[in-house]
Amino acid sequence: MEDSPLSIAASIAGLLTFVVAIIASIHVRVASLRSGRLELDITYNLVKKNVYDLLEMNRRKPLDLMRSHTRQQGDDTNICRLKELSRDLNSTEIVIHTYCRYAMVLDDDDPRLPVTAFDQADERVVELQKVLRTLQDLGRPDVTLLLAGTEIEAIQMQRSSMERVFNFLGSLVPARAVYFKGHVYVLQRMLTAGASPALIRWHRVREKVLEKVRHRDVLRAQIQSLQASMANS
């Protein structure tokens, strides 16, 4: 029995709907990957300069850094409050920086980066913990700094099982065999539907980091308001 024109049209319409759904899902996936990478970069750049400045000052003039964030004799109420807000802001930015660094380590744009990048990220965390200790008021320990120190100690490189498998496969390939390493990398990206290890790690901590970014913006607004009030008084 031959199919009627109506049933043929329905079959074609169903097939086209299926194709359109596949194309739409691919488009959404690509857009999500692009926005995820952009979001990670923007979040990291929000705090990078300030955190680097803190690290550099802690290396060169830790005593000056401590004095600028802890209570000194003669500080009035507003100055003490400003230093408290600054400690909270800096500790929040340090935590954001740590999350982003751990997500970005071994950047997916270059699958040949050495494993020592993990060690470098760990070394940076140790430096950041030293900054937190420098900012701490020994006479009156700051709870926000203590909590920030505890949180970054708990942040670890979260590697998926698939990532561990491909890292192992990549380690079996000789360092000079860049061509084969590239194929292993392409296969990994295909099996994860285009998501790089960095993006997978980012999406695991994204909500927590964005919550801290909002807290950072509130602290900045409070500092600016307090500074304006002090200038007008």
pLDDT at res. 96: 93
Whether residue 58 is contained in a domain is answered as yes
Whether residue 207 is contained in a domain is answered as yes
The count of structural domains within the chain is 1
Identify the CA nearest to 210 among candidates 51, 83, 52, 36. Answer: 36
User: Rounded to a whole number, what is the largest CA-CA distance in the chain?
Assistant: 99
Whether residue 10 is contained in a domain is answered as no
- Residue 129: CB atoms within 10 A of its CB come to 16
Record the pTM: 0.69
Helix (H) or strand (E) holding 183: helix 178-191
Distance CA 187, CA 196 (A): 11
Range of the domain at 197: 39-232
Whether residue 101 is contained in a domain is answered as yes
Whether residue 27 is contained in a domain is answered as no
Q: Distances in Å between the alpha carbon of 221 and those of 46, 71, 82, 91, 143?
A: 15, 22, 12, 16, 21
Query: Coil, strand or helix: which one is 173?
Result: coil
Whether residue 187 is contained in a domain is answered as yes
Are 181 and 170 in contact, with CB atoms under 8 Å apart? yes
Are 208 and 99 in contact, with CB atoms under 8 Å apart? yes
pLDDT at res. 175: 56
pLDDT at res. 179: 55
What is the pLDDT tens value at each position of the chain, 233 positions in all? 455 666 666 667 777 776 777 666 655 555 555 677 788 888 999 898 999 999 999 889 988 888 888 888 878 888 888 988 999 999 999 999 988 888 877 544 444 444 455 566 667 778 888 888 888 876 677 888 888 888 888 876 555 555 555 555 555 555 555 555 555 555 555 555 556 667 777 888 888 999 999 999 999 999 999 888 888 87
pLDDT at res. 111: 44
pLDDT at res. 91: 92
Where are the strands (E) in 163-218, listed by range? none
Whether residue 72 is contained in a domain is answered as yes
Q: Distances in Å between the alpha carbon of 12 and those of 1, 19, 73?
A: 19, 11, 82
Whether residue 144 is contained in a domain is answered as yes
Positive or negative: CA dihedral 206, 210, 211, 215? positive
pLDDT at res. 217: 93
